[in-house]
Amino acid sequence: MKFTIAQPALLNVLQTASKAVAVRTTKQVLTGILLQAEAGRLIATAYDLELGIRVEVPADDVNMLSVQEPGAIVLSARYLADVVRKLPNREVSVGVGSNYMTEIRCGEVEFHLHGIDAAEFPLLPVFQSSQSLQVTSEHVRELVRATAFASATSEVRPILTGVHVELGTGRLQFTATDGLRLATRWIGSAEAGESAWNVIIPSKSLVELAKILPDDDVPVQLYVSDSHSLFVVGTTHFYTRLIEGTYPDTTRIIPSTHRTEVAIDADLMADAVDRAALIARDRENHMVRFEISGTSIQVSSSSSEIGNVSERIQANRMEGDDLSIAFNARYVLEALRALAADEVVLQFNGPNQPFTIRESGAENGLQLISPILWR
Amino acid sequence: MNTSEAGATRRVAPLSEWPIQTDLLGRLREDIASGRVPHAMLFVGEASQNRRFVNFLSQLLLCTGEPAPCGRCAACAQFESGNHPDLYVLDREGTAVKTGQVEALQERLKLRAHAGGRVVYVVHGVDEMTPVAANRLLKTLEEPWPSVIALLTAGSVRRVLPTVRSRCFLFPLPQAGSAPWDDAMPEERGAEPEGDPWFASLIEPVIQWTEILLKGAEPAVILADRLVRAAEDAEFSDVLYVLAMWLRDLMHTSAGDSRHIRFGEYRAQLKEQSSMTNVAELAKAVAVVLETRVRTRSHVAATLNAERMCVRLQEVFASVYGHRRPL
């Protein structure tokens, strides 16, 4: 293998790919980045067995890529990225010699790094075009932001550490739950009518994906196979492994009726709950109480060790029965943050039933939270 | 205990090519060939035996070629380089496998197989795990996905948590040297170190030497010199021990018995060399070598002892050489 490329272009590729390099592993090849030089393009791949990133660079006038000899090599991500970062901003030449010894040359600088046979690198799957869907990066970011935080962090029920991604009935829907709260969000999709599928993608991988998506609104192609999902953004391929199993049916726990409905300014409510949470301790499940009486809501919290707090806020609108309910402040704050709306609508079914929070006037998802039972 | 019904039938290497052969492993082989792989297997034996066998079995289960393990497919190549994406091996950190390692494993096992086939995980020394770590492992053993296979090893079955034991198919692995036809290890050796047995570095020179002996191309004096040199770093009596074991393997192969083979991995050489001679001659040769080994303990010069043995071995194999009898 032998190619030349401008230093900033090579560094950029390595930095994107290196987000998927394995940190703690006994498999040495996974601590490296796979570089493949083919006619007119360079491909860098990293894969920690859960998350894979493959970046492709087609030759152009800016990156000055020129492939003299096609081939592939795996180089230690840590050293490769450091080496390239510290090279001068000039043309870099990379060539593999015997025994996978790789020469990196830039001006008068010459590094030799021990490489690993590219054949040892796990092959990322090739996707059939049958199960694919086009969305936008803005939508993906929105779907992940509104749901991934609600997935479980403990491995007690491994399936809940993922986000349930469903296509069907005219929409693409993301759902996550840890058993005590649930977040779901959907977007309409014209392609959803044609096929239906559902997969469980690890939340951690989706959060990483949201981080590397470009800030401007670009098309994202989503593919799924039996073992992986793939998000293609431009020339960057983002692979995640799927979680094994069947996601629990969450439609049954979302209430279809309500006895109390409150519309309130989201910031007003978030600020009040945030203040009350100062007294609500971790040991007491961050318990904050709402006493709803007409449009007036008393927000309070007390701790035998620290003291207590109470505050009265005004709802914009209230229908149905008065109510007293206690909840985990952390869950409510995270849900409000995920909704990012000016006004939210809360629907309750008494103090012992889960309640929902939705964006006012939008039909795009909801946050469901179990109350804390208290006398 | 479950067995996976999902697997299809496939060709599996004959038992004679397995590193260890017992009746139970013969049945396991048949089960694997017919696609019924137990979800959890516990191998009980000495550490080096466990390791050798579990290593072989993991490769066999992950191999995508035929007969498994084929040693040629992509999965075998990844396995041999230690990079198979669907194999997880938990080895002791300090005294035993720790809870944190089990948790990290479980985080991986929830994912579908990278290659879409089986996922194999190995946990060494389940008898030495703390109860907390063993109980954590239990959850994974209790609710296995059809594609996930557990290979556990232990030195003593009595020390394995009963709840773990009850969820596994148990396979006792015979101790090296416990078979009725086998000698005890040389006394001065003591316990074997883990990993390769002590004779690993000797067997290949011994095989080459035997080939030269059987071809009868060299006189006894030079043969003796070769053997002494082959073992520069080892005790001469150990070399003779390995030689005797190799000749006995040839004898078993010659007699068509493939179950009691110690060096099964050298199948080609076993076949080739055993075809050059016969059981009776090999039996005599083993006796000559063992007698020479006894003589190393008395004050006999090593070279002289070796030369005497070579002369006698050439007498034994006289018929093999035919008219090419060496000097």
pLDDT range class, residue B180, cuts 50, 70, 90 = very low
Q: What pLDDT, on the 0 to 100 scale, is given for residue A46?
A: 95
Give the mean model confidence (pLDDT) for residues B38-61: 91
Residue B181 structure tokens: 């036809």
Q: What pLDDT, on the 0 to 100 scale, is given for residue A267?
A: 94
Domains of chain A: 2-120 (3.10.150.10), 131-252 (3.10.150.10), 254-369 (3.70.10.10)
Task: Report yes or no on B179 lying in a domain.
Answer: no
Task: Report yes or no on B246 lying in a domain.
Answer: yes
Task: Report yes or no on B167 lying in a domain.
Answer: yes
Residues of B in contact with A26 (CB under 8 A): 82, 89
Number of structural domains, chain B?
Answer: 2
Domain-ending residue, one of B137, B172, B207? B172
Residues B159, B96 share a domain = yes
Q: What pLDDT, on the 0 to 100 scale, is given for residue A192?
A: 58
Burial of residue B298 (CB within 10 Å: 0-12, 13-18, 19+) is exposed
CATH code assigned at B221: 1.20.272
**DSSP states along A185-205:** EEEE-GGGGT--EEEEEEHHH
Domain span including residue B248: 197-321
Residues B216, B84 share a domain = no
CA nearest A29 in B: which residue?
B83
Q: What pLDDT, on the 0 to 100 scale, is given for residue B252?
A: 86
Residues B238, B288 share a domain = yes
Residues of B in contact with A45 (CB under 8 A): none
CATH code assigned at B133: 3.40.50.300
Question: Torsion-angle region of residue A111: left (phi > 0), alpha (psi -120 to 50) or beta?
Answer: beta
Residues B140, B19 share a domain = yes
Q: pLDDT tens digits for B67-87?
A: 888 888 888 988 888 889 899
Q: What is the mean pLDDT of chain B?
A: 83
Residues B311, B271 share a domain = yes
Nearest to A231 by CA among A136, A108, A324: A136
Residues B137, B35 share a domain = yes
Residues B154, B117 share a domain = yes
Task: Report yes or no on B9 lying in a domain.
Answer: no
Q: What pLDDT, on the 0 to 100 scale, is given for residue B225?
A: 86
Residues B155, B64 share a domain = yes
Q: What pLDDT, on the 0 to 100 scale, is given for residue B326?
A: 52
Task: Report yes or no on B79 lying in a domain.
Answer: yes
Lowest mean pLDDT among B34-43, B49-58, B87-96, B295-304: B295-304
To the nearest whole Å, the CA of B86 is away from the closest chain A CA by 9
To the nearest whole Å, the CA of A253 is away from the closest chain B CA by 24
Q: What pLDDT, on the 0 to 100 scale, is given for residue B214?
A: 87
Task: Report yes or no on B120 lying in a domain.
Answer: yes
Q: pLDDT tens digits for A320-352?
A: 999 999 999 999 999 999 998 899 999 999 999
Task: Report yes or no on B7 lying in a domain.
Answer: no
Per the CB < 8 Å rule, is B85 touching A159? no
To the nearest whole Å, the CA of B107 is away from the closest chain A CA by 7
CA nearest B102 in A: which residue?
A155
Q: What pLDDT, on the 0 to 100 scale, is given for residue B6?
A: 47
Residues B91, B28 share a domain = yes
Q: In this structure, is the dihedral angle defined by the CA atoms of residues B60, B62, B67 and B73, taken in order, positive or negative?
A: negative
Q: How far apart are the first and last CA of chain B?
A: 64
Contact A93, A3 (CB under 8 A): yes
Q: pLDDT tens digits for A170-228?
A: 889 999 999 999 999 999 876 655 678 899 999 999 998 888 888 888 999 999 888 89
Q: What pLDDT, on the 0 to 100 scale, is given for residue B233?
A: 73
Residues of A in contact with B82 (CB under 8 A): 26-28
**DSSP states along A235-251:** TEEEEEEPBPS-----G
Q: What pLDDT, on the 0 to 100 scale, is given for residue B325?
A: 54
Residues B277, B152 share a domain = no
pLDDT higher than 60, residue B179: no
Domain-ending residue, one of B122, B155, B172? B172
Residues B232, B134 share a domain = no
To the nearest whole Å, the CA of A235 is away from the closest chain B CA by 23
More confident residue, A332 or B201: A332
Burial of residue B103 (CB within 10 Å: 0-12, 13-18, 19+) is middle
Domain-ending residue, one of B122, B156, B172? B172
CA nearest A24 in B: which residue?
B104
Q: What pLDDT, on the 0 to 100 scale, is given for residue B148?
A: 92
pLDDT higher than 50, residue B187: no
Q: Which helix (H) or strand (E) holds A35?
A: strand A32-38
Task: Report yes or no on B186 lying in a domain.
Answer: no
- By Cβ distance, the residue of B78, B82, B110 closest to A244 is B110
Mutate to test the interface with A, among B72, B76, B79, B83 (most CBs of A within 10 A): B83
Mean pLDDT in consecutive groups of 10 residues from the start of chain A, 375 residues:
94 92 85 94 93 92 92 93 93 93 93 92 78 87 94 87 90 93 89 77 91 86 89 91 91 92 95 91 83 93 88 94 93 92 94 94 92 81
Residues B159, B22 share a domain = yes
